[in-house]
Structure 1
């Protein structure tokens, strides 16, 4: 379940039993010792729901616990008995008094004293109507609920998670901009300073996330030019997703954009205007990325001994080497990948767009996002996964805060109505947050043509 601060969590459960059922939801911050309990409310047809509020960033957990409550069963039966049969009512009150007396043994001093007093009144020969009113009153119901005998309870194990994130994870307006293209006309390669000058305008338009494609050095080996040519012109800048060159890799900045201090200044200036800078993390390398020499075992070899470049037949990406996640040194690779995120978090980045996460091991994301959110619960992850719905939903359950969607391909009123009904009115709304991009830099949908 995914929530944001100060939002209600409302778990539901189907519970069937032959007698008086007492279900509760136990909830707490992950790692806390004590549980809080919230009673579940019957919705009908054996469906129950509880509502509790989550107030802090991070991980909560909850579990459904239910048991057959003897007092609840007795009360349900007692309320239906005819008041005309006084002997029957009196006998039933004796049974109820025994249950109350038993609850007193489980209660602390003050509550135990009051429960014993009520038990004596129920069992005595006082006015029948007053005893009946006491038996069915709210005071006794609350006392018996607080001191119920739940030794036979069935509890859902293991506890289920609730991931609590910043409000921006639930809703945010993203603007994508290539920093190298944001300079004044005729000024050449854009810089972080040029981006900073545009921040007031971006804020005025209502955007609160400014998303950059990769800002790292771009490989020179096998660099692509215009129209995907392998013979680029001298001034062709290459693809930002061909990450890494002699200047550095995923933890370096393209020299033409500026320095690390320039980037930090941009992040701070954006935050003052209510804007988060989002970085694109693409787990792939240009042929001249330092990783290729330092860790050749992280890349797959073809039959001729050359490194396998990225392909999506008939497309070929000779300028990009994907990681081999089946490498014998996968642990070191995973740690290095986490280190990339840690590095940029240290520079003030709290929002990441992850390139094609569905083509990487699911276990990687479950571990990595869990580790990062444990130390930095304010971090938001956007999944750029145009793939099968079940896979998109799986990534959300693994920890991604938001996901790309099929919105770009939904054009008619009927298509939009059906799709947003699916996104907002089905169970997936509990964990899957859609990000509705009208297009992307490399996808020109029919409606945009």
Structure 2
């Protein structure tokens, strides 16, 4: 026994075998998401089918595809296409987010055949199509309420209830502890991908649904075809196995504060610092200027950003982030579109509008500069220091031999700033003019109120 103990001690002190020494611990991947290749340079365009055209149908939206192609967008996000509940409906037509049947389409928009035709036509013109998906809740008159009442959450009296603490009286919450809920909702998602060719989903209030459902469902969808998943949520864990992209709510809110003089350019440091340190390198964050919610409940782009709007748009398209256009933005839509009524966009309401040209040119600029690609394909934003940090938000991005410099005056006063070092030194071409520009340490740069400059490697 003593001899055995001595032998064990000797073995414990012996040198570790070479093979064991070489077995260095490796962390698990921070993200296992494989973004579809077509998402590398994607620009989203959100379609509110009801308001997008006077007719408010899939067929009428399909007729607009060539115009959207010319604009340069390539992924179309359709707000929910499903039948809308009548019970406890808000307004005349109700909310598209009150889903009566996950397996059917809203007759207001057309038929399943019309939707399939829209998707096929979009694919033929080079677009991808993602659907808005409402998994957290259904309409009160969804057949599941009567067929499977145990699939729903209840209040303290045992009654069906809407999402707590929200003014969503037209819906009732599903109970995600029930396996049947997961199966029913997941199978519906798979049907739209498998049978209609849908290319992914934007998930409404994604964080209200268990993350393991999204992770499992992502894998099941990927077994059918590569998909893109966008979460309406705000934390990074959803981008590790389930979603390609998550909302950049903080970015949007910070830009509004800056535009209204409630914060200066340094207010963005917190957002971009967190983006670099707390999120998977592969994750994309939706730096939206406007969407259906902000337009209906916060205000139009002009209301939210005023004269800062062109700079805000330019930053959303060139800084780290996934850019998007909400329908009507290219026509300077100046009204809050009704949410529960028919209220079509007036496409000719802003004579002299140049916003469409700005979107078009920024998309072309993104495509010409690999540093501006989405997710892990693009270059990380690195701060460029000046002596006017409260006004000038400056950065540089590099990838695949390409460099882009952004200089943004996020204030209502003209500014002349000095580059503090040689971080952005180089020779570039100016966005909008192709003029040749050389930057050096100590160089002075002048920008008008809310002005911006985008510089890219020569030849880009």
* TM-score, normalised with respect to structure 1: 0.56
1:433 to 279, 284, 294: 284
Cα distance in 1 between the residues matched to 2:225 and 2:47? 26
Q: What's the offset of the Cα at 1:292?
A: 0.8
Aligned pair 1:239/2:95, yes or no? yes
Q: What's the offset of the Cα at 1:195?
A: 0.6
Q: What's the offset of the Cα at 1:351?
A: 2.0
Quick check: 2:240–2:280 contact (8 Å CA) kept in 1? Answer: no
User: What SS does the corresponding residue of 2:19 show, helix, strand or coil?
Assistant: coil
Aligned counterpart, 1:408: 252
Aligned pair 1:298/2:154, yes or no? no
**Paired positions, count:** 275
Provide Cα deviations, 1:20-54, integer angstroms capped at 9, x if missing partner.
xxxxxxxxxxxxxxxxxxxxxxxxxxxxxxxxxxx
Cα distance in 2 between the residues matched to 1:258 and 1:353? 21
Aligned counterpart, 1:169: 39
Aligned pair 1:323/2:174, yes or no? yes
Q: What's the offset of the Cα at 1:417?
A: 5.0
1:259 to 85, 88, 111: 111
Aligned counterpart, 1:379: 227
2:206 to 350, 353, 357: 357
1:135-154 to structure 2, matched below 5 A, reads 150-154=19-23
Aligned pair 1:447/2:304, yes or no? yes
Greater relative CO, 1 or 2 (CA 8 Å, sep 6+):
2
Cα distance in 2 between the residues matched to 1:354 and 1:366? 13
Cα distance in 1 between the residues matched to 2:154 and 2:280? 42
Structure 1: tracts of 5 or more residues without a match: 1-67, 71-148, 226-235
Cα distance in 1 between the residues matched to 2:60 and 2:238? 35
Cα distance in 1 between the residues matched to 2:198 and 2:114? 14
Quick check: 1:165–1:377 contact (8 Å CA) kept in 2? Answer: no
Aligned-pair RMSD on alpha carbons? 2.6
Q: What's the offset of the Cα at 1:153?
A: 3.0
Aligned counterpart, 1:145: none
1:183 to 53, 56, 77: 53
User: What SS does the corresponding residue of 2:80 show, helix, strand or coil?
Assistant: coil
Aligned counterpart, 1:287: 140
1:225-236 to structure 2, matched below 5 A, reads 225=91, 236=92
Q: What's the offset of the Cα at 1:381?
A: 0.4
1:370 to 204, 219, 229: 219
Quick check: 1:423–1:429 contact (8 Å CA) kept in 2? Answer: no
1:193 to 51, 59, 71: 59
Aligned counterpart, 2:237: 394
Structure 2: tracts of 5 or more residues without a match: 1-14, 259-263, 307-460
Aligned pair 1:422/2:265, yes or no? no
Rg: which structure is higher?
Answer: 1
Aligned counterpart, 1:343: 191
Q: What's the offset of the Cα at 1:310?
A: 2.4
Aligned counterpart, 1:268: 120
Quick check: 1:423–1:434 contact (8 Å CA) kept in 2? Answer: no
Cα distance in 1 between the residues matched to 2:71 and 2:274? 26
* TM-score, normalised with respect to structure 2: 0.55
Q: What's the offset of the Cα at 1:377?
A: 5.1
1:217 to 83, 106, 110: 83
